[in-house]
Amino acid sequence: MPAERSGRAQYTDILTALRDIVAADSADDVVRAALTSARATARADAAFWMDAREDGLHMVAGSGLSQPEVHALSHIPPDRGLGGEVLRSGGPASTPDYSADPRAIPRMRQLLEREGLVSAAAVPVSGAAHVDSVLYVVSRARRPVESEELRALAGLASMAGELRERAAERARAAQDMRTLEDDRERSRAERELYLATAESMLSGAGLDHCLELAGDAWGASVHLEGPNGRPPRPGNPTVDRSRTTGCVREFRVPGTDNATLTLRGAAATGDDSVRVLAALVGMDLARHRAALETEIRLTDHLVRSLLDGSKDELRRLWHRALLVGLDLGVPRAVVAVGGDRHVDRALLDTLGRRVRSRVPGAQLTTFEGDAFVLWPVRGDAESTVLATHLAAIVEECRPHMLGAGIGPVCRRAEDYPAAVREARFALRVGVHGRRERAVVSVESLGMYRLFAHVGGVDALAAAAEESLAPVLRADTRDGSDLLHTLQTYLEKDRRAAETARALHVHVNTLRYRIERVCKLLRVDLDDPDARFFLLLALRLSTVVGRRDGR
C-alpha cells in the first residue's frame, strides 16, 4: 500500500472523487470517477471495473494499471476468482495475497504479478435484482482489506452503479431525442421534397428532374425503370423488393405494368418514403397517359380537319390547335412517314419518341396507313437539316423499312391540305419509285409535284405504263432495248448520230429500233404533241414507276 497519509487528506481525496462521480456527465465518466474514488477509499494502487454478462465478467475500464491495453481484453468466467464469488454471493470478497489464494485464476494471477500487485478486493455493483458489475481494487503491498474499507467500497460501488445507470438513461433519452429530431427533420425534408416533386410534375418539369430532386435529398441515385426506362427484366415481381448487392432497392410503381423505382447507393430514407414517391410517380405517369391519349385524339381530329376540312372548318382549327399546344402561326413542314405496311400505334409511339427527341414541339398522327409529322421549322437552318434528321430517324426505326416524304412548309391552316398530298406523293416516290430513296423532298421533284394533285403515284404509274406497254412487252419478250433507245433518242432531240454514239450502236441499228418503236406505239415522232406525251410518260416512269418492272 502507499505510504501512510493523514486521515484528513484521505477524506479530502474521497470527497473529491465522490464529487467527480456525482458531476460525471456520461456513464463512462462515472466509471472513471468511481475507480479514482475507490483507490482513494481503499488506499489502493489500482482499480478496475468489470461488467457481468452471460459468459462472465468483461473489463470496462481500469485506473493505475501500467499496462492497461493488456487488461482491456480480460475475461473472468462467471464461477471463478473473486469476481465469481461476488456474483454468486452478492457480497464483497478479498484476499491479502492473490497469487497464494486458491480462488485465483491463473491468467489473472500472471497479469497482477506482471504489474507487481498482491492484495485484492472485489465488491458488487448491484442492479435492481442482481449484480450488474464488479469493482476491483488491488495493491502492491500484502495486507488484508479491512471490513470498514469493504463496506465503504460497497457503498461507493452502489452509488456509482446507480449514477452510471442514470447517466446511461440520460444518454438513451438524449439519443432518443436526437433520433426524434432527426425523424422530424427527415419528415420535414421529405414533406418539402414531396411538395417540390408534385409542383415540378404539375409544372411539366419532367420525371427526370423530379427523380434528381429525390436523389439529392436522399443521397442516392434514383431511376425509373420499366416501360419508361429500360425494358423490364423477365420475371420481375409485381411487389416491392430490396437487394443488398450494391445497395440497390427496387419498388413497384403503382398503376403501371411492371415499372420500378430503383435506388442505388446508401439512401438515407426508409422504404415507406420511397413508396410515397413511387405513388407520386405512378400518378404522374397516369396523368401523362391521359394527356397523351387526349392529345392523340385531338391531334388526329386536327390533322384530319387539315386534310379535308372546308373553309368553315379551317376557321375553327385555330382554337382546336391551341388545345394540343399547336400554334398554327409557327411554320411547319408536313412530313409523311410510311412503308409497305400501315403504321400502327406501337410504331407511331417509336416515331414520336425519335422525332420529339430532336424537336419537342412536333405533332404526330396516323392517316390512311401513314404517319404524318407536323415539324416546326423556325428558320432556314432547321429546314436544311430536316432531311438529315429524318434519314437518321428512319435508320433508327429498323427493322421497319420506312421512308419519309417532305412536303412544303405551311404557314396558314389553308396550306395544309395541299401540303399533305404533296408529302404523301414524295413518300410514294421514295418507297415505290424506281429510284429507291429513304427520304424524298417534294422540292426535289420539281414540276412533278403537280401530279400529287391529280391521282397520286399509283394512277400516274399506271398511266405511264399504259402509254409504254407495247414497248415494255417487246423488251420483256425479246430482250431488246427499245425503251432505253426511245428515251435516249428523245432526250438527244432526235439527233441520230449523237444518239447512236450514246448507245454505242450503228446509226442503221438506231433507225431500225426507232421504226419498230413507232409501229408498236402507233405514233409519229414528227408530231410535237406525240413526242411531248411520250417523253412525259418516260419521265413519270422513271419517277413513279414500280420497281418490280411492270
How do residues 257-271 score in pLDDT, each as one tens digit?
778 888 887 666 777
Q: What is the CATH number of domain 7-171?
A: 3.30.450.40
Higher model confidence: residue 549 or residue 214? 214
- Are 7-171 and 457-544 in the same CATH fold? no
The yes-or-no verdict on residue 235 having pLDDT over 50 is no
How do residues 200-222 score in pLDDT, each as one tens digit?
766 666 677 777 877 777 777 88
* DSSP bridge pairs for 440: 405
DSSP-derived 3-state class of residue 326: coil
The yes-or-no verdict on residue 436 having pLDDT over 50 is yes
The reported pLDDT for the residue numbered 229 is: 44
C-alpha cell at 433: 419509285
Residue 14's alpha-carbon distances to 7, 21, 133, 134, in angstroms, are 10, 10, 21, 19
pLDDT tier at 424, thresholds 50, 70, 90: confident
* DSSP bridge pairs for 126: 131
Helices 507-521, 456-478: axis angle to 10 degrees equals: 120
In contact, 163 and 133? CB cutoff 8 Å: no
CA distance 328 to 318: 7
- Asked which of 14-18, 133-137, 233-237, 332-336 is least confident by mean pLDDT, the reply is 233-237
The reported pLDDT for the residue numbered 429 is: 76
Nearest to 440 by CA among 338, 292, 297, 321: 338
Residue-range domain boundaries for the chain: 7-171, 186-286, 327-449, 457-544
The reported pLDDT for the residue numbered 300 is: 66
Task: Tell me which residue has cell 488484508.
Answer: 144
pLDDT tier at 544, thresholds 50, 70, 90: low
Residue 227's alpha-carbon distances to 312, 509, 546, in angstroms, are 42, 68, 40
pLDDT tier at 230, thresholds 50, 70, 90: very low
In contact, 284 and 199? CB cutoff 8 Å: no
The reported pLDDT for the residue numbered 546 is: 47
The reported pLDDT for the residue numbered 142 is: 92
At position 296, the amino acid (one-letter code) is I
The yes-or-no verdict on residue 196 having pLDDT over 60 is yes
pLDDT tier at 137, thresholds 50, 70, 90: very high
Q: What is the CATH number of domain 327-449?
A: 3.30.70.270
The yes-or-no verdict on residue 5 having pLDDT over 70 is no
pLDDT tier at 430, thresholds 50, 70, 90: confident
Q: Considering the entire predicted model, what is its pTM?
A: 0.44
- The alpha carbon dihedral of 82, 85, 86, 87 has a sign of positive
The yes-or-no verdict on residue 133 having pLDDT over 70 is yes
Nearest to 267 by CA among 315, 222, 206, 223: 222
DSSP-derived 3-state class of residue 508: helix
In contact, 516 and 447? CB cutoff 8 Å: no
pLDDT tier at 24, thresholds 50, 70, 90: confident
Q: Cβ neighbours of residue 261 under 8 Å, at least 6 residues apart?
A: 222, 223, 224, 225, 250, 251, 252, 253, 274, 277, 278, 281
The yes-or-no verdict on residue 549 having pLDDT over 60 is no
Q: Could you write out the three-class secondary structure of 346-391?
A: HHHHHHHHHHHCCCCCCEEEEECCEEEEEEECCCHHHHHHHHHHHH
DSSP-derived 3-state class of residue 101: coil
> What count of other Cβ atoms lies within 10 Å of the Cβ of residue 419?
25
- The alpha carbon dihedral of 44, 47, 53, 57 has a sign of negative
- Asked which of 20-24, 151-155, 208-212, 453-457 is least confident by mean pLDDT, the reply is 453-457
> What count of other Cβ atoms lies within 10 Å of the Cβ of residue 108?
21
The reported pLDDT for the residue numbered 312 is: 63
CA diameter of the chain: 149
| Omega before residue 399 within 30° of 0, cis | yes
Element (H, E) at 241: strand 241-243
**What would the DSSP string read from start to end of 439-507?**
EEEGGGGGGGGGGGGTTHHHHHHHHHHHHHHHHHHHHHHH---HHHHHHHHHHTTT-HHHHHHHHTS-H
C-alpha cell at 243: 437487394
**What would the DSSP string read from start to end of 298-318?**
HHHHHHHHHHH--HHHHHHHH
The DSSP symbol for 204 reads: T
The values of phi and psi at residue 274, to 5°, are -70, -35
Residue 211's alpha-carbon distances to 19, 207, 261, in angstroms, are 56, 6, 9
Nearest to 183 by CA among 68, 300, 268, 240: 268
CA distance 410 to 408: 6
The reported pLDDT for the residue numbered 399 is: 85
The yes-or-no verdict on residue 9 having pLDDT over 60 is no
The yes-or-no verdict on residue 246 having pLDDT over 60 is no
Average pLDDT over residues 338-345: 84
Mean pLDDT of the chain: 79
**Class of 457-544 per CATH?**
mainly alpha
Q: Could you write out the three-class secondary structure of 394-442?
A: HHHCCCCCEEEEEEEEECCHHHHHHHHHHHHHHHHHHHHCCCCCCEEEH
